[in-house]
Amino acid sequence: MAALNATTMAILAGIFILGVGIGVAISSTANFTPENVASREFIDRSAPNAEICVQYGASAVTMDLRAFVTLSPFNVYVSQPSMQPGCVLRNNNWAVLERNNLISSQQVRECKNRMNTFGFTGSIEGDGREPKIDCIYQNDSAKNLFLDQPGGGSSPPESQRF
């Protein structure tokens, strides 16, 4: 009876290991296309000036949309968002934009006074894709509910503040 249990356990362990191996193989060959953004690495590679973005900030998905609010009756209408890759710079790395004369000292002063940072789409290296640069505000009021999952890790605090 003990040999049967050991044999059964060995077979079940083998099936489990085979299942884990197949699962890893399938997940490592996932199809990352613009229609299926499934990883942070894909977003990092798609960011404008990806090397600069990863070194001096964080890659992002930007959404341009318009919102309309009626007061009588109270309703909110939102247009279809336009999504594109972007980059958020840490506030101590704005010199990257200043060096290329993409922002003025007045823009830096105004953005710094409001304790904000800069984000951009397009290229800041002058390769024909005109950059669109905005002073943006980090809104943490909603929090990231994905981080509240049991057993989930969290980013170190220094990487969360821009």
- In sequence order, the 6+-apart residues with CB closer than 8 A to the CB of 46 are 34, 59, 85
Q: Residue 9: its pLDDT value, please?
A: 79
Q: Residue 18: its pLDDT value, please?
A: 82
Give the model confidence (pLDDT) of 22-37 as tens digits: 877 776 655 555 555 5
Q: Report the predicted TM-score, pTM, of the whole model to 2 decimal places.
A: 0.63
What are the residue ranges spanned by the domains of the chain? 1-30, 40-139
Give the model confidence (pLDDT) of 72-99 as tens digits: 899 999 999 898 999 999 988 998 999 8
Residues in the chain: 162
Q: Report, in angstroms and rounded to the nearest whole number, the Rg of the chain calculated over CA atoms.
A: 23
